[in-house]
Structure 1
Amino acid sequence: MKRVFTFILAIFSLTIMKAQEQNPPVKVAVIGLTHTHVHWILGREDRGDIEIVGIVEPNTDLAERYTKQHGFSMDIVYPTMDALMEIVKPQAVTAFGTIYDHLSVVEFFAPKGIHVMVEKPLAVSLDHAKKMQALAQKHNIHLLTNYETTWYGSTLKAYKMVHQDNMIGDIRKIVVHDGHPGPNEIGVNEEFLEWLTDPKLNGAGALTDFGCYGANLATWLMKGERPQSVFAMTATNKPDIYPKVDDEATIVLQYPKTQVIIQASWNWPVSRKDMEVYGVTGQIIADNGSTIRYQLGDNAQEQKLTDLKKESPNDDPFTLLAAVVRGQITPQDADLSALQNNMVVMEILDAAMQSAKSGKVVKLK
């Protein structure tokens, strides 16, 4: 019996080793550390899908703090992208600097055939986004955008209930709430706060920081359709804290038969990322990342689903990135991380900024 067990264990070990040889970790470099979402990749458990082979960060103090916190050596930290490429050759990079820097990251790595994943939103402006899109297409790289809500089990379940199960009929209204009490109020670090509240480096305030979530989800639920018009109102309710940018934004998107209301705020009393989808015959409320409430008709009883999760590789941004780099997954245009979806997001954000400034509805061409 002992020999049989040893034999089975050996076969199992060889199988695992062979699988690892066929799918070695994708070599990934982290570009920038000033976006605190970087803790997502630095602090994740080792799933065997990616290997961080380098970090680019000119701020030595910041780099030392984060590498010490997450157990990385300063030997893999480089002051520039050029210095990184002299030593290591990543297959993909993830951008965790300012949104303004996303363009320079794509300009540097796309010609080298290196895939890029950026934190939301895709770019600081529609002009930057178009340049990034052109580079990605010219050099045949994947350019993905990472949102926290992409990995929610509740968002996927809502999509399936709408489009696969046809549980609520045609969508008539989508309402998305995203935000928190404010970056200063929740205590983000100085390096992050400095650029997050700078209109040049972040594009705007709450409008871009949280408005992008709703635009992304709406584009996905509407299967990539662009809205006909965009109207937005912004305000700075705390000018003593955020003198340069808005801290409150409401964006209204109009489609032929659907209206979308996006509420983005640095004034919520609690942090929230939730979504409501209303159809002809029912409604779906995603309260958080794992819970959905739905009601099918005015007289029907509300139902609740909990502990909703996504399955790998769609449960984690860097697992998905690895699968895309390996060619195991090809992003579809309307997908939450896909470039085409996020080009529509940038059209919406650009129109929202125009509308907020002019006070008028902006019609998309």
Structure 2
Amino acid sequence: MAKVRYAVVGSGWISQIAFMPSVAQTDNSEMTAIVTGNPERAQELADFHGIPKIYSYEQYDEMLASGVCDAVYIALPNSMHADYAIRAANAGIHALVEKPLALTVAECEAMIAAAQKAGTLLMTAYRLHNEPATVAILDAIRDGQIGTPRVFSSVFTMQADLGNHRLEAKHWGGPLQDIGVYCLNAMRHVFSAEPVEVIAMDGATEDPRFSEVPEVISATFRFPGAAIATFTASFGAHDLDEYRIVGTEGVIEVSTGYAFKTMPKFRVIRGDDVTEHEFDPVDHFGAQTAYFSDCIQSGTRPESDGEEGLADVRALRAVEESARTGRPVTIETAPRPSHPSKDTVRMIPTTEKRLVF
């Protein structure tokens, strides 16, 4: 196929500000439909981006059967991911699904099984796997620049707005699922291993934003070989986005490690020797889309597949259980067969052409 045709399922903020502007920056992808609950706003977006078709959520199955798309980008609340991805697979349509992949381990497994049965591809939208700075950090670790990684620590905090669906329990909202997942995913690839145990703590103030979900959560993970990783994620603190990796011979410090509007910056510290690394801008979402389209066109399983999303959901649920019980929780996940590498990077230019309501 000349270009992979995408239907955007959910025309909210992340689709408007990040995914939809990025597709035209690729040379192998295009948008051919929007599935939405707001047809008036969707029409404005369709006109702006040159998207020919608009469907309601009630018309989703009709859209899948119409031949208008090859793949869907699912940017719906977490509670809706599994249903829409499974329906896509059943119709023979590939799915790029925002993280966390689904609400539960069972839902993730059902999504994976549906894609396997249909012969379609399922990819978890870990855009950082497809931009060069994050891969350069992992390459520095793999090259032994800090010796063996032993400690990972991260803080990712922001202020969430009252009324956002990320603060609703019915959608499995909260800082753990929305931003803590970035820290969790990073540590797993820093150590090239899966965590075996976690202990966690959460809390909330009387702020009305946090009547259904915690305001803050902190977790400490044990990895094989006694490596330790910790992170704190909050929806009620000033913006901070950083992580640090301490090895046996040096340290890597990363700032703006997770944000999609900027490139991660990092420095490698070995005694008095400090090396700074900065990168020219790349469109994270464009890189992610271009990579998935390459996988679709070549029939290659994506690195950040359904099992990658499942591994994080299993660990996220263990964090919740530990925070609820106050006890350590064992995590059992098989090692990943691959990790982000230069093969997963796509150098897609940024754009300022976007329409955001």
Q: CA deviation at 1:294?
A: 1.3
Q: CA deviation at 1:147?
A: 3.2
TM-score by length of 1: 0.81
Structure 1 equivalent of residue 248 of structure 2: 280
Structure 1 equivalent of residue 168 of structure 2: 198
Q: CA deviation at 1:29?
A: 0.8
Find the aligned partners of 1:86 and 1:113 in 2 and give their Cα distance.
9
Q: CA deviation at 1:252?
A: 1.3
Which among 180, 185, 201 is matched to residue 216 of structure 1?
Answer: 185
Q: How does 1:107-186 map to 2 (within 5 A)?
A: 107-163=86-142, 165-184=143-162
- Contact between 1:154 and 1:309, CA under 8 Å: does it hold in 2? no
Q: CA deviation at 1:100?
A: 1.0
- Contact between 2:34 and 2:46, CA under 8 Å: does it hold in 1? no
Can you list the C-alpha shifts for 1:76-123, whole angstroms capped at 9, x where unaligned?
Answer: 111121231353341111001111111111221112221100111111
| Gaps in structure 1 of 5+ consecutive residues | 1-22, 185-189
Question: Please, what is the CA RMSD of the aligned residues?
Answer: 2.4
Find the aligned partners of 1:81 and 1:362 in 2 and give their Cα distance.
39
Cα 1:181/1:61, change in 2 over 3 Å? same
- Contact between 2:75 and 2:97, CA under 8 Å: does it hold in 1? yes
Q: CA deviation at 1:130?
A: 1.9
Q: In the alignment, does 2:221 pair up with 1:253?
A: yes
Q: CA deviation at 1:181?
A: 1.9
- Contact between 1:176 and 1:276, CA under 8 Å: does it hold in 2? yes
Q: In the alignment, does 2:271 pair up with 1:294?
A: no
Q: In the alignment, does 2:317 pair up with 1:350?
A: yes
Q: Which amino acid aligns with 2:27?
A: G
Can you list the C-alpha shifts for 1:196-249, whole angstroms capped at 9, x where unaligned?
Answer: 211121x131011111111111222232x2211011111123532221111211
- Contact between 1:94 and 1:118, CA under 8 Å: does it hold in 2? yes
Greater shift after overlay, 134-143 or 255-264? 134-143
Which among 263, 284, 303 is matched to residue 275 of structure 2?
Answer: 303
Find the aligned partners of 1:207 and 1:313 in 2 and give their Cα distance.
22
- Contact between 1:151 and 1:315, CA under 8 Å: does it hold in 2? no
Aligned residues: 322
- Contact between 2:220 and 2:228, CA under 8 Å: does it hold in 1? yes
Q: In the alignment, does 2:30 pair up with 1:51?
A: yes
Which among 218, 231, 247 is matched to residue 199 of structure 2?
Answer: 231
Can you list the C-alpha shifts for 1:277-336, whole angstroms capped at 9, x where unaligned?
Answer: 11111110111234111111xx323221122667x999711111111111175434xxxx
Find the aligned partners of 2:5 and 2:126 in 1 and give their Cα distance.
21
- Contact between 2:150 and 2:248, CA under 8 Å: does it hold in 1? yes
Q: Which amino acid aligns with 2:209?
A: I
TM-score by length of 2: 0.82
- Contact between 2:292 and 2:302, CA under 8 Å: does it hold in 1? no
Q: CA deviation at 1:60?
A: 2.3
Q: CA deviation at 1:341?
A: 2.2
SS at match of 1:360: coil
Q: Which amino acid aligns with 2:149?
A: I
Asked which structure has the greater CA Rg, the reply is 1
Find the aligned partners of 1:153 and 1:178 in 2 and give their Cα distance.
21
Find the aligned partners of 1:222 and 1:328 in 2 and give their Cα distance.
29
Find the aligned partners of 1:148 and 1:183 in 2 and give their Cα distance.
24
Structure possessing the higher relative contact order (Cα contacts under 8 Å, 6 or more residues apart):
2
Greater shift after overlay, 86-95 or 341-350? 86-95
Q: In the alignment, does 2:334 pair up with 1:362?
A: no
Find the aligned partners of 1:313 and 1:262 in 2 and give their Cα distance.
23
Q: In the alignment, does 2:243 pair up with 1:265?
A: no
Q: Which amino acid aligns with 2:132?
A: G
Find the aligned partners of 1:172 and 1:309 in 2 and give their Cα distance.
30
Greater shift after overlay, 25-34 or 151-160? 151-160
Cα 1:290/1:352, change in 2 over 3 Å? closer
Cα 1:313/1:67, change in 2 over 3 Å? closer
- Contact between 2:6 and 2:31, CA under 8 Å: does it hold in 1? yes
Find the aligned partners of 1:213 and 1:238 in 2 and give their Cα distance.
27
Q: Which amino acid aligns with 1:49?
A: N
| Gaps in structure 2 of 5+ consecutive residues | 257-262, 333-357
Cα 1:38/1:144, change in 2 over 3 Å? farther
Q: CA deviation at 1:166?
A: 1.1
Q: Which amino acid aligns with 2:55?
A: Y
Structure 1 equivalent of residue 20 of structure 2: 42
